[in-house]
Chain A
Amino acid sequence: MIDVDADVRRLINSAVDAELGPRRPAPPLAGGAPARRESRAALWRMPVLAASVMALLATGGVALVSSHHAGSPTSATHSAAIQTRPVTPHYPDGANVDGVTVGPLTAKERELEKGLITWGAVPQSMRPGRSYQVTVRVAVTMPSEPSKVLSTSAADVSEFRCPQPFLVHPGLAYEVSCTVHVLAGAIGKLTTTLSTPGVAGGWSYGTFLPRAGAS
């Protein structure tokens, strides 16, 4: 018989330790108070809003440019960016994929040494039989790194529709819109993976969906 109490205690503690890494000292106190850091929610609310506005403006720009340059597949802004980058075969560029919005990095993102993945807009509760739209934003900040392939996948869901794998380039942010149907009683998981073309393996970040209630 499994000693659930002891096993869960051991496993959850070792999982937390693995996730956090070695023990770190507390950040320095500033004048007796913890240095107030801008919360992640606040950090992201405005940039994402700004990115959405930029995307809307860019979309409007594309429409205007297209009306004057029939047959032009991309906006002037995007085509200029793409022309300067080598395109790896087999994967479309994110700028040309439906369901993907490409925009500039926010000021906060540009300051980051590492890239950032944000799963957002996941509903608090989900019901089987209904479809939900979820988004993931990927800020590719590292100028020294080559272009990567971004792909998404899902586990323990009944249906998942998301754009095909596509190329992402440093210095840009990508917002991907996906649709998911959940399974009754299951906890679905969505995963974003970044890999280098032609190289096995990669980096992934997943987020769990709320447990789907009975239909």
Chain B
Amino acid sequence: MKSVADPLSVIRAGDEPFDALYEAQWWPMVRLAQALVDDVASAEDVVQDAFAGLLRNWPRLRQPGAALGYLRSSVVNGARSALRRRRTVRRWGGLEQVGPATAPGAAAPVLLSEEHTAVRVALAALPARQREVLTLRFVADLTDSEIATATGMSAVNVRSAASRGLTTLRSTFGSLS
């Protein structure tokens, strides 16, 4: 039996060693961050910072499931900071190709359909908290309680934000159809 006096062993006893968590959650967190910041480089930075923060606080985590919640909160907070900076950077390979192909051998472009663009624009038009709540619900598949933890909102406010956001989206997409 592991010694409870060793904080790290408490975490590892929960079957969530850091390496395994990192391997399993890196990509889902990148997806979530990308949905929030809409920029691959920023998304990866946000996730990297989140894991670095988790590692620093790893010995202090007391509950086996706390690491994942910590990560989600860090990604949400990191995404908020990234959006505040509003600096967007993209390399040639990640650019959207317009018109006929012009660069043989160039990296595959990001081509978003009109539907994708519409949903991106519609979500971007929502107030920040509504956008966060719906993104966490749709992309990370979180419950209202988990969203509340990740965003620092109350469960009541989460439900309210989700409802208002969906009403707006319903109106937007209804008018488009």
A residues whose Cβ falls under 8 Å from a Cβ of B: 2, 4-5, 7-9, 11-21, 23-27, 29, 32-34, 36-37, 39-41, 44, 112, 114-120, 122-124, 142, 187, 193-196, 199-208, 210-211
Q: Of residues A25, A203, A205, which shows the largest number of chain B Cβ atoms within 10 Å of its Cβ?
A: A203
Contact of B99 among A21, A32, A34, A202 (CB under 8 A): A202
Q: Of residues A15, A36, A41, which shows the largest number of chain B Cβ atoms within 10 Å of its Cβ?
A: A15
Q: How far is the CA of A76 from the CA of B73 in the complex (A)?
A: 53
Q: How far is the CA of A191 from the CA of B116 in the complex (A)?
A: 17
Q: Are A112 and B91 in contact (CB under 8 A)?
A: yes
**How many residues from B make CB contacts under 8 Å with A?**
68
Q: Are B92 and A114 in contact (CB under 8 A)?
A: yes
Q: Are B26 and A26 in contact (CB under 8 A)?
A: yes
Which 4 A-B residue pairings sit nearest by Cβ, starting from the closest?
Answer: A201-B99, A26-B26, A15-B116, A114-B92
Q: Are A119 and B138 in contact (CB under 8 A)?
A: no
In the complex, chain B residues 122-138 whose Cβ is within 8 Å of any chain A Cβ:
122-125, 134-135, 138
Q: How far is the CA of A95 from the CA of B3 in the complex (A)?
A: 68
Chain B residues whose C-beta falls within 8 Å of the C-beta of A8 in the assembled complex = 119, 122-123, 134, 138, 169, 173
B residues whose Cβ falls under 8 Å from a Cβ of A: 18-19, 22-23, 26-27, 30-31, 34-35, 38, 40-43, 45, 48-49, 51-52, 55, 84-103, 106-112, 115-116, 118-125, 134-135, 138-139, 166, 169-170, 173-174, 177
Q: Are A207 and B169 in contact (CB under 8 A)?
A: no
Q: Which residue of A lies closest to B35 (CB)?
A: A16
Q: Are B35 and A12 in contact (CB under 8 A)?
A: yes
Q: How far is the CA of A59 from the CA of B99 in the complex (A)?
A: 37
Q: Are B45 and A201 in contact (CB under 8 A)?
A: no
The 16 listed contacts between A and B (C-beta, < 8 Å) are: A11-B118, A12-B119, A12-B123, A13-B139, A16-B31, A19-B112, A20-B30, A29-B22, A39-B45, A40-B87, A114-B93, A117-B90, A142-B92, A205-B88, A207-B86, A211-B124
For the A-B complex with A8-B173, A34-B51 known, give 8 more contacts whose Cβ atoms are closer than 8 Å: A11-B116, A19-B112, A24-B27, A112-B91, A117-B90, A117-B91, A120-B87, A142-B92
Q: How far is the CA of A196 from the CA of B51 in the complex (A)?
A: 41
Q: Given that A12-B35, A18-B116, A26-B23 are contacting pairs, would A40 and B52 also be in contact in the complex, using a CB cutoff of 8 Å?
A: no
Q: Are B87 and A118 in contact (CB under 8 A)?
A: yes
Q: Are B89 and A116 in contact (CB under 8 A)?
A: yes
Chain B residues whose C-beta falls within 8 Å of the C-beta of A208 in the assembled complex = 38, 121, 124
Q: Are A195 and B102 in contact (CB under 8 A)?
A: yes
Q: Are B45 and A20 in contact (CB under 8 A)?
A: no
Q: Given that A4-B166, A16-B35, A203-B109 are contacting pairs, would A115 and B27 also be in contact in the complex, using a CB cutoff of 8 Å?
A: no
Q: Are A206 and B96 in contact (CB under 8 A)?
A: yes
Q: How far is the CA of A78 from the CA of B170 in the complex (A)?
A: 55
Contact of A32 among B19, B26, B124 (CB under 8 A): B19
Chain B residues whose C-beta falls within 8 Å of the C-beta of A13 in the assembled complex = 138-139
